Amino acid sequence: MPAVPAAHQTLAILRYLSRQAGPVSAASIVRDLKLPRSTVYHLLATLAEDGFVAHVPEDRRYALGLAAYELGTGYVRQAPLQRIARVPLADLVDRVGHSAHLAVLHGREVVYVIEERAPGRPPLVTDVGVRLPAQLTASGRAMLARLQPAQVRALFPDPAAFVLRTAAGPRSPSALRALLVDIRRRGHAFEDGEVTTGFASIASPVLDHSGHPVAGVAVTFPGAAVPSAARERVAAQVARTAATITRRIGGTPA
């Protein structure tokens, strides 16, 4: 089937707007997406007319509109990510023998959308619908490490943005930056006792076609029960599952 350039350009604009911390100018869209100026203005006008883009005339800037929000709520109602990820997550639990979960990023928090509990394992705080500070959880860290630095700064601009559950965890933007650098170097995220005392988690991100993190896959286990060598094996299995889900949604594994 032949490609439709206007459709690709329209989707590129919507994706671009969805990644911004606030309204942006048309000139920024032209520059960052390398699209013709006239094309961008025509597409923005059409998107604004249909409600997918909101124009802020005082600032000469554009943001996502109500129709885009309605698409997002439709996604939540249909829950395709949960349907796609449930079997790979259950397979992960079978392989490692510990409970696993899938979380999505929502502002400075993660929201848990799937929990697969291993037989005989205790219940965790990562039940479906629970929200936790993203910078404390392994799944949140895995996703934050794949965001652009400007996006992380927008989410965590100062120490007031940091919430702790135990005595451990980053407390400042500089501490978070150092942590995310280490995660990118290792290839997976880790937390030990920062969400729940006595428990540790390992996570990898699920990525879309542009490399943007759409979810985090994590396994949680009693920290004292899993030695370092075994944790590396768990990390490899978590990365394998995240890659499987990434491919299923049309993304490119990390």
CATH of the domain at 197: 3.30.450.40
Name the token pair of 175: 């501490």
Q: Which one of 14, 44, 71 terminates a domain?
A: 71
Please give the structure tokens belonging to residue 205. 């991100």
What pLDDT does residue 77 have?
56
Give me the phi and psi of 187, to 5 degrees please.
Answer: 95, -5
Burial (CB count within 10 angstroms: exposed 0-12, middle 13-18, buried 19+), residue 90: middle
**Sheet architecture: strand order including 61-64:** 24-25, 61-64, 53-56
Dist CA 53 CA 14 (whole Å): 8
Q: What is the pLDDT of residue 150?
A: 86
Q: pTM of this prediction?
A: 0.69
Please give the pLDDT value at position 91.
95
CB neighbours (10 Å) of residue 71?
A: 12
- Tokens read off for 151: 């996006």
Provide the pLDDT for residue 76.
55
DSSP H helices, 125-253, are 138-144, 149-155, 173-186, 228-248
Q: How far apart are CA 137 and CA 161, in angstroms?
A: 15
Q: Using an 8 Å Cβ cutoff, are 101 and 107 in contact?
A: no
Q: What is the pLDDT of residue 73?
A: 61
User: Based on the domain organization, do 132 and 220 belong to the same domain?
Assistant: yes
CA 145, 149, 155, 159 torsion-angle sign: positive
Do the domain assignments include residue 18?
Answer: yes
CB atoms within 10 A of CB 62: 24
| pLDDT value, residue 123 | 72
Query: Residue 65 in contact with residue 214, Cβ under 8 Å?
Result: no
If asked whether residues 9 and 45 sit together in one domain, one would say yes
Looking at residue 249, what is its pLDDT?
85
Give the residues across from 106 on adjacent strands: 109
- Residues 46, 23 within the same domain: yes
From the list 97, 90, 142, the residue with the least C-alpha distance to 114 is 90
Amino acid present at 133? P
Do 96 and 66 belong to one domain?
A: no
Please, are residues 118 and 98 in contact by the beta-carbon 8 Å criterion? yes
Enter the tokens of residue 159. Answer: 């120490």
Containing domain of residue 104, as a range?
79-248
User: Is 253 among the domain residues?
Assistant: no
Residues 84 and 61 in one domain: no
pLDDT at 102: 94
> Is 254 inside any structural domain?
no
Tens digit of pLDDT at every position of the chain (254 positions): 456 788 999 999 999 998 888 899 999 999 999 999 999 999 999 999 999 999 888 888 999 888 887 776 666 555 678 888 999 999 999 999 999 999 998 888 898 988 888 887 777 767 777 888 999 999 999 999 998 888 888 888 888 888 877 778 788 899 999 999 999 998 899 998 888 888 899 999 999 888 889 899 999 998 888 888 889 999 999 999 999 999 988 888 87
**What total of structural domains would you count in the chain?**
2
Per-residue confidence (pLDDT) for residue 211, from 0 to 100: 86
Output DSSP code: residue 147: S
pLDDT at 11: 93
- Nearest Cα to Cα of residue 112 among 96, 122, 97, 124: 124
pLDDT in the model for residue 79: 62
Which one-letter DSSP state was computed for residue 129? T
Return the pLDDT at 57.
Answer: 84
> In the 8-state DSSP scheme, what is residue 197?
T
**Do residues 154 and 129 make contact, with C-beta atoms less than 8 angstroms apart?**
no
Give the residue from 17, 41, 71 where a domain finishes: 71
